[in-house]
Homo-oligomer: A and B are copies of this chain.
Amino acid sequence: MSKPPGAPPAHGERTRELIVQTALRLFAERGYERTTMRAIADAAGLSVSNAYYYFRSKDQLVQEFYAEIQRRHREEAAEALGRDGFVDRLRGVLHAGVTVMAPYHDFAGSFVGVAINPRSGSSPFSDESTAAREAAIGLFRDVVEGAKPAVDRQVRADLPELLWLAYLGVTLYWVHDTSYEQDRTRRLIDLATPFVARLIRLSRLPGMRPITTDLLWLVRKVRS
């Protein structure tokens, strides 16, 4: 799959990286649509068709973008994952996500439009992005597993994936959020996080058990 770590990167590898970095910079500077493949190639100092030698399409550059964001998200979330309480951890991770995406807000809509398409390969549900998806869900697994006091065992297994789905929802909300510096999304996170925690706690109450069980059953049933 990859070279022994520490080996100097092959020429092709460096060119590839150069293209990604150039693309990301231009995306942030002028947005997605207005960054043409020709502009990327020019800025990177090579020909358009050469860029296409490394990336099948412009969409695939978007996938690289996701991968990069993902890396930064984990980095930015590290601090929050050092805390104890479930709510603090979840809130921190969600805010970290919004923070790393912030520079791209103006045109993130184009990305989401690409990503939502089931055929696009950069869809978070597609086979191609299995790795990225696992990584993202892993982040929320960390949120759940590391919480003290521990999260109810009944929901622990399914919670990471549900939280990841919720995070996709937050992203969708964020994309449409036109408030100053996306403050509304920040507020949504602050308000919804303790609410989620409360629901989880509630699910333990005797009267709620059957409902929780049913919901989890529904989730599992519907997942495949």
Contacts and interface: CB of A to CB of B under 8 A. Distances in A.
Nearest to A210: B198
Interface of A (DSSP majority class): helix
A114 B112 CA distance: 9
Given A125-B176, A202-B211, A221-B187, A113 B109 contact: no
Interface string A57-76: 00000000000000000000
A46 interface: no
A82 B154 CA distance: 41
Copies in the complex: 2
A110 B59 CA distance: 13
Nearest to A222: B188
Nearest to A124: B176
A53 interface: no
B184 A222 contact: yes
